[in-house]
């Protein structure tokens, strides 16, 4: 609250009668009137700590009502139970109360609907992209992070097989083992003895294994003991190095990331370094998937990474006689996909060829392409590349090329 008042200074001679305000008259008080624009400018300084943009830009301010000195705001948060609710609310109140002309502030908080939430998330992603830290990954490369709320569900197995299947579709594919100290990819691709080398500019070059550009801590450390030393290294720093100091090919269509189990530092670093990353969530068919879903969805929301879809792995076992055993329960994948509002991209059955492939270094999609798991994984890879088409294909030049091809085909009919 601020008043501009014309008062006589308390020092110096008293004014001559008639030359100033009369003794009986109250000092002239002029109230500063606050405007809609003033309020909006002040709200532009309130930043949603998670989404990194101001609440006006994010479309969270749904209404500003001014009645003299009292201001009523309607704010829509991304979700009603937003953990940042108190922080945003008190920030808004403090900013507005400090303004000249504002006497009282009332904030009505609501939640966005699905369409508004989708718009705000895509805005936050755009913002993250614009502010992304530079890496060696071409912004046009589609990044698919294979993750899960828990360990041992088949993330590494799927990363390797999806990378191989996507490469077999004719795409250029990179595979980054982001499980820094729990690396397992080199063994799964029969490359455990390979070592990465650096060029004269001190950039490390990925190993080309089975047609996939591969980087893993396992290709750098010399023995298990050195691997233990990496534990002391900040995980996010290691990921940063793999993205900045590796000479990844510029023309990669896809970069598949095998994420470590759980949610944490690596995911947040990934969102910061590669804001184009999209998550594929792996789960088992066990119905108790809700907790995992909540964790993954929360992490995705906090790092505003989109979830492309769910893959259910270890979806039962079918004998040669056709008898099906739902060893790990059923329905969890679909339930998780429904909870997250994304498609179920694949259901991969239990298959001894998968274990064999993991041990022998030949991914099942290559070694036993017609096996039940390989068939399902190849299909899942196809579905994924449809959901996340190569960005290069989306550029004008390739669109024109496709169009020209279609026209030529029509002319030939
Ligand atoms: N569909 C499947 N059929 C049979 N075995 C499978 C299947 N998927 C994964 N496995 C086996 O399950 C084990 C765990 O798989 P994997 O290492 O890929 O899981 P992960 O999620 O990466 O584990 P971690 O969280 O420890 O990194 C491996 O022995 C793997 O061979
Ligand atoms: Mg793993």
Residue boundaries of the structural domains of the chain = 36-113, 131-412
| DSSP code for 343 | -
How many C-beta neighbours within 10 Å does residue 379 have?
15
User: Which CATH number describes the domain made up of 131-412?
Assistant: 3.40.50.300
Distance (Å, whole) CA 73 – CA 104: 11
How many C-beta neighbours within 10 Å does residue 383 have?
17
Phi, psi of 228 (to 5 degrees): -65, -35
pTM above 0.85, yes or no: no
Digitized pLDDT (tens) for each residue of the chain, 413 residues in all: 333 333 333 333 434 444 444 444 455 555 678 999 999 999 998 888 777 778 998 889 999 999 999 999 999 988 777 667 888 888 899 889 888 899 999 999 998 888 888 888 777 777 777 777 788 888 889 999 999 988 889 999 999 999 999 999 999 999 999 988 788 999 999 999 998 888 888 888 999 999 999 999 888 876 656 655 555 566 778 888 899 889 999 899 999 999 988 767 788 888 888 888 999 999 999 877 667 767 777 777 777 788 899 999 999 888 888 888 888 878 889 988 988 889 999 999 999 999 998 888 999 999 999 999 999 999 999 999 999 998 755 544 444 555 555 566 666 55
CA of 177 to the centre of ligand 2 (A): 9
- For residue 69 the two structure tokens come to 């000195």
Nearest ligand (C-alpha, residue 313): 1
The DSSP element (H or E) to which 80 belongs, if any, is none
pLDDT of residue 400: 52
- Angle between helix axes 36-43 and 85-97 (nearest 10 degrees) is 130
- With a Cβ cut-off of 6 Å, ligand 1 is lined by 151-157, 179, 182, 184, 261, 313-314, 348, 350-351, 354-355, 358, 373
- Assign 321 to helix, strand or coil: coil
Handedness of CA 172, 206, 308, 48 (dihedral sign): negative
**Atom in ligand 1 nearest the alpha carbon of residue 373:** 1
CB 181 within 8 A of CB 227: yes
Pocket test for ligand 1, best of 157, 261, 326 (most atoms within 8 A of CB): 157
Nearest ligand (C-alpha, residue 262): 1
The DSSP element (H or E) to which 41 belongs, if any, is helix 36-43
Pocket test for ligand 1, best of 145, 150, 152 (most atoms within 8 A of CB): 152
Please tell me the residue having the least CA distance from ligand 1 atom 19. 154
End-to-end C-alpha distance for the chain, whole angstroms: 78
| Of 174, 219, 168, 176, the residue nearest 195 (C-alpha) | 219
CA of 59 to the centre of ligand 2 (A): 39
**Atom in ligand 1 nearest the alpha carbon of residue 148:** 21
CA of 207 to the centre of ligand 2 (A): 19
The DSSP element (H or E) to which 108 belongs, if any, is strand 104-111
Three-state SS string across 205-264, please?
CCEEECCEEEECHHHCCCCHHHHHHHHHCCHHHHHHHHHHCECCCCCCCEEEEECCCCCC
User: Which CATH number describes the domain made up of 36-113?
Assistant: 3.30.300.130
**Atom in ligand 1 nearest the alpha carbon of residue 359:** 31
Please tell me the residue having the least CA distance from ligand 1 atom 3. 350
Distance (Å, whole) CA 61 – CA 270: 30
Please state whether beta strands 29-31 and 3-5 pair in parallel, antiparallel, or not at all (unpaired): antiparallel
CA of 220 to the centre of ligand 1 (A): 23
Please tell me the residue having the least CA distance from ligand 1 atom 16. 154
**Atom in ligand 1 nearest the alpha carbon of residue 153:** 21
| Angle CA 261–177–374, to nearest 5 | 85
- For residue 302 the two structure tokens come to 């906090």
CA of 392 to the centre of ligand 2 (A): 29
What count of Cα atoms within 13 Å lies in the side-chain half-sphere of residue 181?
14
Please tell me the residue having the least CA distance from ligand 1 atom 9. 154
- For residue 111 the two structure tokens come to 């939640």
| Angle CA 133–137–139, to nearest 5 | 75
**Atom in ligand 1 nearest the alpha carbon of residue 182:** 27
């Amino acid at each position: 609250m601020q008043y501009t008042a014309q008062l006589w200074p308390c020092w110096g001679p008293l004014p001559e009668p008639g030359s100033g305000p009369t003794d009986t008259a109250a000092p002239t008080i002029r109230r500063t009137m606050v405007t809609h624009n003033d309020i909006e400018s002040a709200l532009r300084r309130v930043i949603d700590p998670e989404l990194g943009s101001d609440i006006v830009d994010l479309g969270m301010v749904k209404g500003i009502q001014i009645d003299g000195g009292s201001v009523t705001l309607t704010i829509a948060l991304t979700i009603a139970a937003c953990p940042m609710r108190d922080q945003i609310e008190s920030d808004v109140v403090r900013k507005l109360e400090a303004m000249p002309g504002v006497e009282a502030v009332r904030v009505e908080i609501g939640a966005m609907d699905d369409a508004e939430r989708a718009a705000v998330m895509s805005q936050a992603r755009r913002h993250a992209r614009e502010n992304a830290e530079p890496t060696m990954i071409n912004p046009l490369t589609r990044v698919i992070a294979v993750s899960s709320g828990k360990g041992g569900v088949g993330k590494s197995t799927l990363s390797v097989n999806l990378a191989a299947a996507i490469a077999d579709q004719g795409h250029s594919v990179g595979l980054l083992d982001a499980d820094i100290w729990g690396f397992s990819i080199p063994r799964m691709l029969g490359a455990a003895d390979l070592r990465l080398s650096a060029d004269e500019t001190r950039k490390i070059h990925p190993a080309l294994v089975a047609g996939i550009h591969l980087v893993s801590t396992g290709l750098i450390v010399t023995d298990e003991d050195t691997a233990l030393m990496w534990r002391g290294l900040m995980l996010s720093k290691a990921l940063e190095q793999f993205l900045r100091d590796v000479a990844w090919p510029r023309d990669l269509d896809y970069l598949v990331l095998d994420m470590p189990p759980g949610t944490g530092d690596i995911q947040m670093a990934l969102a910061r370094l590669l804001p184009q990353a999209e998550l594929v969530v792996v789960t088992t068919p066990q119905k108790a998937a809700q907790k995992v879903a909540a964790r993954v969805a929360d992490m995705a929301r906090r790092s505003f990474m989109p979830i492309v879809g769910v893959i259910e792995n270890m979806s039962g076992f079918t004998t040669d006689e056709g008898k099906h055993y739902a060893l790990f329960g059923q329905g969890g994948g679909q339930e998780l996909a429904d909870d997250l509002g994304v498609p179920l991209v694949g259901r991969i059955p239990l298959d001894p060829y998968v274990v064999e492939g993991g041990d022998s270094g030949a991914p099942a999609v290559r070694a036993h392409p017609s096996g039940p798991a390989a068939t399902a994984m190849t299909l899942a890879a196809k579905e994924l590349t449809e959901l996340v088409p190569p960005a290069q294909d989306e550029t004008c030049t390739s669109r024109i090329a496709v169009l020209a091809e279609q026209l030529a085909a029509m002319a030939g009919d």
